[in-house]
């Protein structure tokens, strides 16, 4: 276990740019610091601590508390050290009788309007006000409490995760500044003047009624007990801290799990976390209670049929039964009749073992991952054009970006910590282009406004991207020198001639895309000429019939304008789940071994055969959709599914459940009885990220350590379960720690050669490739040359989806996520996050709602060619007429009952973003929902009759 060394707060941030150094004298000590460093920070770097309350190195200096006063030779008065820049030759004194008197007087005023309940205060032991009272030598308060004070102000307990006790507020402004500078929400303000100045959410609203997004930045910034986590109030201050990595989205925030024994007291974002730099969101900061939720599966269970009751058994019996069933199926139906699914929520090491189990113990290549249904087009498209199946930059790179192009992504909801970083850059002056059918928050929010919102029709990404390229080519905006030096000449010329065709002009495509030609032309010019331009994209690009084509079109745009290979530019896929990048890296696709090397390559295959001691198949195995089809055909009869809920997350739910019902043995390994587990025959308890060691790889290729802070509730971590199953199948695995698995990955995968737990502990994290050429990793890809050598332009002909609107299905449904919930909701639905989003809603434009007689909160039926479900309506102008939108976080919503089996031509990534539907008012649930309720109740009863009764009553 690695104990976190809390980073000392130096009072003010470092200079943004270091151009020179200066030397000054502080308390007789010579100190050399970068020009632009504050006196306070210069002193702290010399281990001279100046008292402070309003200052912290995560925020810009403010200078309000007056505790950090110093004396400076040849300067009148007592300047605040936090707002005073250090100068060459400056002579500073931080201690003197007069300074002591001034500071003590300031502290006396603070304490005169502050409760003296330190012994019972939740911040006792972790309170800066308490510390400063000691530092300044405050021993008495002369002013008493007889006059005006704020001691009887009521607490705001509305937020489920933290309390706001205004009686303890010293109005230092740190929380307000954190909300502005770190989060960019501007939800907090100082109301009133003088003595009546108080911090308030919104216009003196409760936190839950304000624009607060519960990121926790204000709680972290507060130097008193004004803003305190309710978990700290209940449990007390933590005893020790362990640094780990968040298990939610692809940002991969570094968090300090502050512990009492094996119990988490709170999660605090790590200041030195490279992906998040001391920030977090409501999920990572607060929504970790699912790990100890009463619904956790902690005992292995088996049953012969899904209509049988579950029977709790020992680990040995469960694993023996699973292995015997897999052997029986292969003996009956052939070696290729079983397969596995790798989880993007589990660690790299666990995913690696699952794909190794399938290839070495099952003896086939029938392994796939949830990236199939999200970012598989990213892997294909970027590999074809740039040569590597991953994004090109680090998150920090956006600090150098002049033009941000966001397409098919909603960073403030899906990747909120990076969304805050993006908004910070936009507030500094970067320009913004958003390509999205829906009006996302980035288009207009406090101090951020998009220059252009290209509100396209769903399914027309490729046409819009080709039109942007048309403008760049025909108006002479190409980066000719970059292209000549870095890209394949013949491929470029063919692409240039293609996009220059009149059919690709904004004027010709306007009738298809719905984007006004003038607006598109202006956006293209801004992207090509506005300086460093970076593209950020998400599932709104990949989850289409032309997902791979769109990714290649994005890469074409970046190459055509020379926006690859340096800070502030690039092609940046925003990966959805915490380890979806890692699950792809470690060989979870049926056609690729770790490191994206094809199974048909005999040299690569030979390397793994020698290391693993088996003969490997040279043909790709089944993708997830192929597994379903083969199950219905009777040729795929067994599945090992670790940590994925394919019933809720994959398209056309009824098709998925029919395929699972046709299988003879499904082994699910998960922490909850999820929707897929209800079709399983063996249920193996999984372990949460708090119960395991390993690594995650985020969207910027950053490999970060996951560290165990509590023992696995079921006794085994996921990697140990996979290893035990493999041993029972006759293929020995004998690792003693996940570090040994990473060592094997590094030995066999060129991009991971330099990765080890020791190196990760030294550096904090590593962005692959990490090898002899880049021993500390690679923040920016394709700097001097593309991984494939020369960049390859690819023609991206727009082909309309086969999913058409008709008189029967006149609207287009598209899907996405919301800030407070995560993916299929298995984790977040078991936390207080349901207070923000307790159900999936259907967003519909007022015109479409009025046409159908639909009002806000009405129940509406959504019918597609695949099925029908019922949701409540949210009438909103976020939508454009003709387009509706929903999330998929709640299984009873049946969002994927109505999505079709249309998929990307290259990768089979489902076309979640384009489903033709009709929407009408209804009075009762759909037939599917009624059947789901019956099946769900029956399955809960088969697992735990008492719990099923409680669920029904709830």
pLDDT tens figures, 583-610: 999 999 999 999 999 999 999 999 999 9
Check residue 6 and give its pLDDT. Answer: 44
pLDDT at 318 over 50: yes
Q: What is the CA radius of gyration of the chain?
A: 29
SS3 breakdown of the chain: % helix, strand, coil, rounded to 5? Answer: 35, 20, 45
Check residue 948 and give its pLDDT. Answer: 46
Distance from C-alpha of 634 to C-alpha of 501, rounded to nearest angstrom: 49
Give the E-state strand segments of 568-701 in sequence order. 570-573, 592-593, 597-598, 638-642, 665-670, 682-685, 694-697
Inter-residue contact 421 to 394 (CB < 8 Å):
no
Residue with tokens 């398209």: 651
Q: What is residue 410's three-state secondary structure?
A: coil
Exposure of 47 by Cβ count < 10 A (0-12 exposed, 13-18 middle, 19+ buried)?
A: exposed
Distance from C-alpha of 795 to C-alpha of 491, rounded to nearest angstrom: 8
Structure tokens at 429: 């002056």
Distance from C-alpha of 195 to C-alpha of 501, rounded to nearest angstrom: 68
* pLDDT cut 70: percent of the chain above it: 98
Helix (H) or strand (E) holding 722: helix 718-728
Check residue 576 and give its pLDDT. Answer: 86
Q: Give the angle subtended at the CA of 290 by the CAs of 284 and 295, to the nearest 5°.
A: 165
Inter-residue contact 591 to 585 (CB < 8 Å):
no
Distance from C-alpha of 436 to C-alpha of 458, rounded to nearest angstrom: 8
Distance from C-alpha of 911 to C-alpha of 625, rounded to nearest angstrom: 13
Interval 638-648: pLDDT, tens: 999 999 999 99
Crossing angle for the helix pair 517-529 and 506-513, to the nearest 10 degrees: 120
* pLDDT cut 90: percent of the chain above it: 93
Q: What is residue 467's three-state secondary structure?
A: helix
**How many residues would you count in the chain?**
954
Check residue 1 and give its pLDDT. Answer: 27
pLDDT at 483 over 90: yes
> What is 482-538 written as a DSSP string?
HHHHHB-HHHHHHHHHHHTSGGGSHHHHHHHH---HHHHHHHHHHHHHSSSEEEEE-
Interval 333-379: pLDDT, tens: 999 999 999 999 999 999 999 999 999 999 999 999 988 988 999 99
Cis? peptide before 374, omega within 30° of 0 = no
Crossing angle for the helix pair 315-333 and 718-728, to the nearest 10 degrees: 50
Distance from C-alpha of 810 to C-alpha of 307, rounded to nearest angstrom: 40
**809 Cβ partners below 8 Å, 6+ apart?**
863, 864, 865, 916, 917, 918
**103 Cβ partners below 8 Å, 6+ apart?**
51, 67, 69, 136
| Mean per-residue pLDDT, 468-482 | 98
Check residue 947 and give its pLDDT. Answer: 54
DSSP letter at 619 equals S
Question: Residue 137 — left, alpha, or beta (φ > 0 → left; ψ -120 to 50 → alpha)?
Answer: left
Check residue 300 and give its pLDDT. Answer: 97
Distance from C-alpha of 46 to C-alpha of 117, rounded to nearest angstrom: 35
pLDDT at 8 over 90: no
Phi, psi of 205 (to 5 degrees): -95, 165
Distance from C-alpha of 284 to C-alpha of 820, rounded to nearest angstrom: 10
| Mean per-residue pLDDT, 122-150 | 86
pLDDT bucket at 945, cuts 50 / 70 / 90: low
First to last CA, the chain: 40
Distance from C-alpha of 813 to C-alpha of 212, rounded to nearest angstrom: 29
Q: What is this structure's pTM?
A: 0.95
Distance from C-alpha of 811 to C-alpha of 879, rounded to nearest angstrom: 12
pLDDT at 2 over 50: no
DSSP alpha helices (H): ranges in 595-702?
Answer: 602-612, 624-633, 646-649, 653-662
Distance from C-alpha of 270 to C-alpha of 277, rounded to nearest angstrom: 7
Helix (H) or strand (E) holding 936: helix 927-943
Burial 229-240 (b: 16+ CB within 10 A, else e): bbbbeebeebee
pLDDT at 633 over 80: yes
Structure tokens at 367: 């392994």
Helix (H) or strand (E) holding 339: strand 338-342
| Mean per-residue pLDDT, 779-803 | 96
Identify the bridge partners of residue 856 per DSSP, sorted by sequence position: none
Distance from C-alpha of 776 to C-alpha of 674, rounded to nearest angstrom: 40
Distance from C-alpha of 51 to C-alpha of 137, rounded to nearest angstrom: 11
Mean pLDDT of the chain: 94
**428 Cβ partners below 8 Å, 6+ apart?**
none
Check residue 952 and give its pLDDT. Answer: 47
Interval 211-259: pLDDT, tens: 999 999 999 999 999 999 999 999 999 999 999 999 999 999 999 999 9
pLDDT at 651 over 70: yes
Per mean pLDDT, which range of 112-121, 236-245, 285-294, 878-887 is the poorest?
112-121
Interval 708-765: pLDDT, tens: 999 999 999 999 999 999 999 999 999 999 999 999 999 999 999 999 999 999 999 9
pLDDT at 879 over 80: yes
Distance from C-alpha of 786 to C-alpha of 385, rounded to nearest angstrom: 9
**930 Cβ partners below 8 Å, 6+ apart?**
none
Inter-residue contact 382 to 551 (CB < 8 Å):
yes
Crossing angle for the helix pair 517-529 and 461-474, to the nearest 10 degrees: 60
DSSP letter at 829 equals G
Distance from C-alpha of 665 to C-alpha of 646, rounded to nearest angstrom: 16
| Mean per-residue pLDDT, 663-684 | 97
Identify the bridge partners of residue 573 per DSSP, sorted by sequence position: 537
Inter-residue contact 786 to 386 (CB < 8 Å):
yes
Distance from C-alpha of 206 to C-alpha of 563, rounded to nearest angstrom: 45
Check residue 926 and give its pLDDT. Answer: 94
Check residue 147 and give its pLDDT. Answer: 74
> What is 878-911 written as a DSSP string?
TSPTTEEEEE---GGG-HHHH--S-B-TTT--B-
Check residue 3 and give its pLDDT. Answer: 32
Structure tokens at 436: 């999205």
pLDDT at 950 over 70: no
pLDDT at 24 over 60: yes
> Measuring CA to CA, which residue among 214, 216, 223 is closest to residue 266?
216
Distance from C-alpha of 48 to C-alpha of 32, rounded to nearest angstrom: 14
């Amino acid at each position: 276990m690695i104990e976190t060394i809390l980073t000392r707060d130096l009072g003010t941030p470092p200079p943004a740019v270091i151009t020179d150094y200066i030397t000054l004298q502080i308390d007789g000590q010579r100190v050399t610091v970068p020009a632009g460093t504050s006196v306070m920070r210069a002193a702290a770097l010399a281990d001279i601590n100046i008292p402070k309350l309003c200052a912290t190195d995560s925020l810009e200096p403010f200078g309000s508390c007056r505790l950090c006063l110093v004396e400076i030779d040849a300067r009148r008065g007592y300047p605040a050290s936090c707002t005073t820049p250090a100068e060459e030759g400056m002579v500073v004194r931080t201690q003197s009788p007069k300074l002591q008197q001034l500071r003590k007087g300031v502290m006396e005023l603070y304490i005169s309007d502050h409760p003296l309940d330190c012994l019972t205060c939740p911040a006792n032991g972790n309170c800066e006000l308490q510390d400063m009272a000691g530092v300044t030598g405050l021993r008495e308060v002369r002013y008493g409490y007889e006059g005006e004070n704020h001691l009887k102000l009521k607490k705001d307990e509305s937020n489920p995760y933290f309390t706001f006790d205004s009686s303890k507020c010293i109005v230092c402004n740190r929380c307000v500044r954190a909300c502005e500078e770190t989060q960019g929400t501007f939800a907090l303000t100082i109301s009133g003047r003088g003595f009546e100045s108080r911090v308030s959410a919104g216009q003196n609203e409760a936190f839950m009624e304000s624009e607060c997004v519960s990121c926790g930045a204000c709680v972290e910034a507060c130097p008193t007990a004004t803003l305190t986590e309710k978990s700290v109030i209940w449990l007390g201050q933590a005893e020790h801290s362990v640094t780990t990595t968040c298990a939610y989205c692809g940002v991969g925030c570094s968090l300090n799990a502050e512990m009492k024994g094996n119990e988490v007291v709170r999660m605090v974002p790590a200041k030195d976390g490279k992906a998040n730099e001391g920030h977090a969101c409501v999920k990572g900061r607060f929504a970790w209670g699912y790990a100890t939720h009463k619904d956790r599966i902690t005992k292995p269970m088996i049953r012969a049929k899904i209509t049988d009751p579950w029977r709790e058994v020992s680990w040995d019996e469960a694993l023996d039964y699973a292995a015997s069933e897999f052997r029986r199926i292969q003996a009956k139906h052939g070696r290729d009749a079983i397969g596995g699914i790798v989880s993007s929520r589990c660690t790299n090491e666990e995913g690696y073992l699952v794909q190794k189990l399938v290839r070495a113990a099952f003896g086939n290549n029938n392994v796939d991952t949830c990236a199939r249904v999200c970012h598989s087009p990213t892997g294909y498209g970027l590999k074809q054009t740039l040569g590597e199946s991953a994004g090109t930059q680090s998150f920090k790179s956006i600090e150098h970006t002049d033009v941000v192009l966001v397409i098919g992504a909603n960073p403030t909801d899906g990747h909120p910590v990076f969304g805050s970083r993006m908004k910070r850059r936009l507030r500094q002056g970067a320009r913004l282009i958003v390509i999205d059918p829906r009006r996302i928050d980035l288009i207009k929010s406090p101090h951020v406004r998009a220059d252009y919102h290209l509100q396209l029709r769903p399914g027309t990404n490729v046409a819009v991207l080709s039109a942007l390229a048309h403008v760049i080519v025909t108006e002479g905006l190409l980066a000719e020198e970059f292209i000549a030096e870095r890209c394949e000449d013949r491929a470029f010329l063919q692409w240039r001639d293609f996009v220059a065709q009149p059919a690709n002009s904004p004027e010709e495509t306007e009738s298809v895309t719905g984007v006004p030609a003038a607006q598109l032309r202006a956006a293209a010019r801004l992207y090509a000429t506005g300086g460093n331009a970076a593209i950020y994209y998400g599932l709104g690009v990949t989850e289409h019939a032309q997902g791979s084509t769109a990714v290649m079109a994005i890469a074409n745009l970046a190459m055509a304008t020379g926006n690859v290979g340096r800070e502030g530019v690039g092609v940046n896929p925003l990966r959805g789940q915490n380890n979806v990048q890692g699950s792809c890296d470690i060989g979870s696709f049926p056609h690729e071994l770790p490191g994206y090397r094809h199974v048909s390559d005999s040299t690569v295959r030979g390397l793994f055969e020698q290391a693993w001691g088996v003969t490997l198949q040279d043909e790709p195995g089944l993708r997830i959709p192929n597994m379903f089809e083969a199950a219905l055909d009777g040729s795929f009869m067994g599945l090992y599914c670790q940590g994925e809920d394919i019933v809720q997350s994959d398209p056309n739910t009824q098709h998925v459940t029919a395929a699972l019902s046709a299988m003879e043995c499904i082994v699910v390994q998960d922490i909850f009885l999820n929707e897929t587990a209800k079709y399983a025959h063996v249920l193996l308890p999984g372990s949460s990220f708090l119960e395991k060691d390993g690594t995650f790889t985020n969207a910027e290729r950053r490999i970060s350590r996951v560290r165990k802070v509590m023992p696995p509730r079921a006794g085994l971590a996921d990697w140990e379960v996979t290893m035990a199953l493999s041993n029972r199948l006759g293929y020995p695995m004998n690792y003693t720690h996940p570090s040994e698995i990473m060592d094997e990955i590094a030995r066999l995968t060129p991009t991971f050669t330099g990765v080890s737990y020791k190196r990760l502990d030294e550096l904090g994290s590593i962005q692959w490739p990490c090898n002899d050429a880049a021993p500390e990793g690679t923040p920016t890809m394709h700097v001097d040359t593309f991984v494939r050598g020369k960049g390859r332009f690819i023609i991206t002909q727009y082909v309309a989806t086969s999913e058409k609107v008709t008189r029967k299905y006149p609207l287009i449904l598209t899907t996405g996520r919301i800030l407070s919930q995560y993916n299929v909701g298995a984790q977040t639905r078991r936390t207080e996050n349901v207070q923000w989003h307790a159900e999936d809603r259907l967003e519909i434009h007022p015109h479409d709602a009025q046409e159908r007689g639909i009002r806000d909160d009405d129940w509406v039926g959504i019918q597609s060619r695949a099925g029908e479900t019922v949701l409540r309506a949210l009438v909103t102008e976020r939508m454009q007429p003709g387009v509706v939108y929903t999330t998929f976080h709640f299984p009873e919503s049946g969002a994927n009952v109505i999505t079709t089996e249309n998929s990307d031509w290259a990768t089979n990534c489902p076309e979640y973003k384009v489903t033709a539907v009709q929407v009408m008012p209804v009075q009762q649930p759909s037939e599917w929902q009624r059947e789901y309720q019956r099946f769900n109740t029956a399955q809960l009863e088969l697992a735990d009759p008492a719990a099923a009764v409680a669920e029904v009553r709830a």
